[in-house]
Amino acid sequence: MRKFESILSAMSSPDARTTQTGDLHFPKNPSEARERFRRAAEPTGAKLSTRLLPSDKASTPTEELSIEIAELDPGRERLLVLTSGVHGPETPAGSRIQEEFFLHHARRLHEQGWGILAIHGINAWGFLHGRRNNSRNVNLNRNFSLDPATFQTRNPGYERLRDFLEPTTPLISVEAEALRLASGIAWRLARGEMSRSDLAIAAGMGQYQFPTGLSYGGSGPEPETQIVAEFFQKHLVGERDRVVAIDLHTGLGSRACLHAILSDGPSARGMEPMRRRLASVLKTGEIEITPTDTAGFYKTTGDMNDFAANFCRQAREAICVTAEFGTIGADGLNQFRTLLMFIAENRGHTRGYRRLADAERLKRLNRELFDPQDRLWQDRVLLRGLTLIEKLTDN
């Protein structure tokens, strides 16, 4: 059991290569993030609008939750789209990049002939409650589709491993869950019942049959998806020169590395222009183009990349990319930590906790997984996010 205690303590400890400070410059809650975004975007002349999300009086009795949108001449021949907060606890990094972009970079890009569409804090409920999913336990990055067939997609691997990935009893403790998960993986690998890639696909790809399960994609477009679709339909459809759509995330991959990820669907056509525009920074290791079959990553259904790409099929060039900033690392141990957090947090939320203290503990661990309280990590993420925008919109 001590081994698993050390695994968990390492998740909440600062990286040995970084220095923590008390000066945390990423927003801490939806209201702060929303206000800072609006305050940064307004002086650029962008049109600001708010779309309220359905209220959830049971879990959010006083907080009004919304998605904020900034539009700056989005009808131009070249359009930059920035989206943030699809997964709740990942909002701070994306929000801060959007804020800094409007404060110091949007005017210059606008003067160069670009239009801008920024959609901020898409999963405000998840941000408030520290959950990747929304209030209906839907992983929005498996829900971005208007095609009914998407919501009939089967995930045979998840169905086969469901009892293992989705226990039906309350969470005993985080350490007990780590032991159950490690022994279960080892036993199934030894018996040849699955490979490591089978496990990653089963747990991460998305599934649409089990509402209390991991990576549940919903039964139809969620309100958040419908709001995004409204603005994509308004601004991305039609002939134009270029579209660059960047969806900002944190979690997977090497610490502070920006992993640029394209899906295997419609967004895949942006691979060659993206390689060309990122050529000068790929050699540094600060930004990497990461295929979905890379260890620690996985293919998904219903993701933002292909959702955006479907709307801008008529653009001469379209790069629709996930910008994934790594947090705890990409080796096998850290992949295990990430899966542990997904399973333990989902089990506690849907089945309850044997000890209430574990609920708060998981919130802290979850925050460190997606929103590290480390100034150096935050500074690197901010710089690399802005570099990605600059390179992809270079004329």
Rounded CA separation 45/43 (Å)? 5
Q: What percentage of the chain carries pLDDT values higher than 90?
A: 78
pLDDT for position 83: 98
Report pLDDT digits (tens) over 12-59. 444 433 333 334 489 999 999 999 999 999 999 999 999 999 876 666
Q: Residue 227's beta-bridge partner residues? A: none
pLDDT, residue 57, reads 60
The structure tokens 């990935």 sit at 165
Check: CB of residue 388 under 8 Å from CB of residue 382. Answer: no
Q: Letter for the amino acid at 61?
A: P
pLDDT digits (tens, 9 = 90+) for 69-99: 999 999 999 999 999 999 999 999 999 999 9
Q: 180 and 356 in contact (C-beta within 8 Å)? A: no
Kindly give, in sequence order, each residue whose CB lies less than 8 Å from that of residue 270, ignoring residues fewer than 6 positions away. Answer: 262, 309, 317, 318, 319, 320, 321
Q: What is the pLDDT of residues 291-321, one digit of tens each?
A: 888 877 888 999 999 999 999 999 999 999 9
| Confidence (pLDDT) at 21 | 34
Contacts of 219 (CB under 8 A, 6+ apart): 151, 208, 211
Residue 3: CB partners within 8 Å, gap ≥ 6?
none
CATH class (in words) of the domain with range 7-12+33-144+230-342+359-392: alpha beta
Evaluate if residue 139 carries a pLDDT over 80.
yes
Backbone Cα Rg of the chain: 20
DSSP H stretches of helix in the chain? 2-11, 30-41, 91-104, 106-111, 124-129, 156-165, 174-190, 196-204, 223-235, 271-282, 304-311, 332-351, 356-370, 375-392
In 3D space, the residue among 172, 169, 164 whose CA is nearest the CA of residue 191 turns out to be 164
Least confident span in 159-163, 349-353, 357-361: 357-361
Cβ atoms within 10 Å of 47's Cβ, excluding its own = 12
Position 370: which residue type?
F
Residue 391, pLDDT above cutoff 80: yes
**pLDDT tens by residue, 322-344:** 999 999 888 888 889 999 999 99
pTM of the model: 0.93
pLDDT digits (tens, 9 = 90+) for 254-291: 999 999 999 888 889 999 999 999 998 887 888 999 98
